Amino acid sequence: FVQDLRQACVTPHVAQKARFSAINGRTTRHEGYALSQRCRKKIDLRRGTQVHQQSR
């Protein structure tokens, strides 16, 4: 997925795995990547809250 994005000249903003990650320092050093990950966390927290509330 990440390779396909890079071939299309798109910067991937997916989460970085601890080992064997397709995301390297070339991507993570940019301010936009950090901003994207903070937004992603907020979205994931909201989804988790909604899923939890629906299962009650």
SS3 29: coil
Q: Which residue has the higher pLDDT, 14 or 54?
A: 14
Q: Which residue has the higher pLDDT, 54 or 48?
A: 48
For residues 16 and 23, the answer to whether their CB atoms sit within 8 Å is: yes
Which pLDDT tens digit goes with each residue over 3-49? 898 899 987 777 777 777 778 777 778 788 888 888 888 888 887 75
Structure tokens at 41: 């966390």
Burial status of residue 45 (CB atoms within 10 A of its CB: 0-12, 13-18, 19 or more): exposed
Give the start-to-end residue ranges of the domains of the chain: 1-15+24-48
pLDDT of residue 8: 93
For residues 13 and 33, the answer to whether their CB atoms sit within 8 Å is: yes
> Which residue bears the tokens 């301010």?
31
Q: Is the pTM of this model over 0.85?
A: no
